[in-house]
Amino acid sequence: MTTLNNQKESPRALAILASFLASESAGGIVLMGAALAAIIVANSPMASLYFAALHSVWGGLSIELWINDGLMAIFFLMVGMEIKREVLAGGLASWGQRALPGFAAVGGMLIPALIYVAINRGNAETLSGWAIPAATDIAFALGVLSLLGKRVPTSLKVFLAALAILDDLGAVTIIALFYSTGLNLPMLGASFATLAVLIIMNRMGVQRLLPYLLLGLLLWFFVLQSGVHATLAGVALALCIPLGTRQEEARSPLLFLEEKMHYWVAFAVVPVFGFANAGVSLSGITLANLVDPVPLGVALGLFVGKQIGVFVAAALAIRSGLATLPEGSNWMQMYGVALLCGIGFTMSLFIGNLAFPGAPHLIDEVKVGVLIGSILSAVVGVLLLRSRLCRP
């Protein structure tokens, strides 16, 4: 893949980072509204219309599948471009920059998964949901952090964004390795052939976006039919789109596409996914249901596991000299951000759908667990940070 010759962030990359933080923060607030609307509709007289619309079929797929396999491929394309830009030219361009969010991301995925497994051990039906609490929702987390305004050091926002990006990379890897079933070898072969053409185009220096996007659409179709989850086509396409050298950044295809997609993803794709997947009927849920293995494992994994995993792993990296605290922050502020990492909305719901296909009752339990864990993480995290941040 083409790379930047200079690891320092360019003015345009910094501008994109600022735009990213702004759009993700605002997009997170819109996502909160979409999730709340979904819960209200799912528990109103319009509930039957809501669920019927999601299950209606168009073009051979239900509307819900078009959203989860189609629209979310666009989301994953954005995730892939963010990962590539940050690793090659941004805040993750050197091993020193990767150390703190890298350690924190690994700890923040491992501990929640272990908590879920401990609660669901011996239950083969629910154990496959172990990865659900391992993901952080970058839009939701930055949206909640933005509620605290300019008192939040920019370094903390960048740390949270970098951590969530690496967290997304881990989630993509988990989806590829553990949630791909019933492989169709001819279609898988066609997927690899299409990917090979994309890589060759990159190596040959093809700069026009249209050929990449057309082949990306073909790649999505092949991956959809192969048994590997179709959203991974978005990540694969992103890694093939040229970033260019420092001298070429004014016409970088990746930077151009990322800039154009920011607002569509933040204000359309992710909120639509949230509205389609957050709706859960609470009519039959009792307090006893909240301690069922799935909702309890998900909620504790997000609220307890995330804060422990992120904070302890980050502290180990700092104490060992591999990393330093984000500039202008302190340990309690770092702990507050670790709490916000327990907001696992979008990716957790997405993995929940993959973990329990054909089991709507378990998916509803996942939604309850995700909502409880995410709300607790958001509320406690904001209260702690609010008490520890200086007023501007």
Using DSSP, state whether 57 is helix, strand or coil. strand
Of 132, 124, 127, 130, the closest CA to residue 277 belongs to 132
Q: What is residue 274's predicted lDDT score, i.e. its pLDDT?
A: 87
Query: Is 0.75 topped by the overall pTM?
Result: yes
Quick one: the chain helix, strand, coil %, rounded to 5?
A: 75, 0, 25
* Two structure tokens written together for 221: 């179709």
Non-local (6+) Cβ contacts of 2 within 8 A are 202, 205, 242, 243, 244, 245
What does the block give as tokens for 210? Answer: 């249209």
Question: Which residues are CB-neighbours of 383 under 8 A, at least 6 positions away?
Answer: none
pLDDT of residue 218: 96
Query: Would you state the structure tokens that stand for residue 93, as one six-digit string?
Result: 């361009």
Please report the DSSP string for 323-341 in residue order. Answer: --PPTT--HHHHHHHHHHT
State how far the alpha carbon of 62 is from the alpha carbons of 59, 215, 336, 366, in Å. Answer: 8, 24, 40, 21
Q: Are residues 27 and 272 in contact, defined by beta-carbon separation less than 8 angstroms?
A: no
Amino acid at the residue 14: L
pLDDT at 6: 41
Tell me, what's the pLDDT at 146?
A: 75
Q: What is the pLDDT of residue 21?
A: 58
* CA–CA distance, 387 with 333 (Å, rounded to integer): 9
Helix (H, G, I), strand (E, B) or coil at 61: strand
pLDDT at 4: 40
Task: Determine the Cα–Cα distance for residues 162 and 145; give it in Å rounded to an integer.
Answer: 14
Mean pLDDT, the chain cut into blocks of 10 residues (392 residues total): 44 62 68 88 92 89 88 87 82 77 94 96 91 85 78 82 84 83 86 95 92 95 87 90 70 88 86 87 76 94 96 95 86 93 88 88 91 93 84 48
Distance CA 103, CA 318 (A): 10
pLDDT value at residue 3: 40
Contacts of 193 (CB under 8 A, 6+ apart): none
- Structure confidence at residue 204 (pLDDT): 92
Distances, alpha carbon 96 to alpha carbons 93, 102, 318, 323, in Å: 8, 10, 11, 7
- Spatial separation of the C-alpha atoms in residues 65 and 358, rounded to whole Å: 13
Antiparallel, parallel or unpaired: β 57-58 and 61-62: antiparallel
Please state, in angstroms and rounded to a whole number, the distance separating the CA atoms of residues 215 and 233: 10
Angle 350-31-299 from CA coordinates, rounded to 5°: 50
Going from N- to C-terminal start, the domains of the chain cover: 30-57+94-179+272-387
> Cα separation of 316 and 294, whole Å?
30
How many CA atoms, within 13 angstroms, populate the side-chain half-sphere of residue 22? 8
Q: Which helix (H) or strand (E) holds 58?
A: strand 57-58
Helix (H, G, I), strand (E, B) or coil at 179: coil
Side-chain-side CA neighbours of 275 within 13 Å: the count stands at: 18
Query: What is the residue-wise DSSP string for 338-360?
Result: HHHTT--HHHHHHHHHHHSTT-H
Going by the DSSP 8-state scheme, the letter that residue 246 receives in this structure is G
The residue behind tokens 């104490």 is: 319
As beta bridge partners, residue 61 has 58
CATH-assigned architecture of domain 30-57+94-179+272-387: Up-down Bundle (1.20)
Query: How many angstroms separate the CA atoms of 8 and 246, rounded?
Result: 10
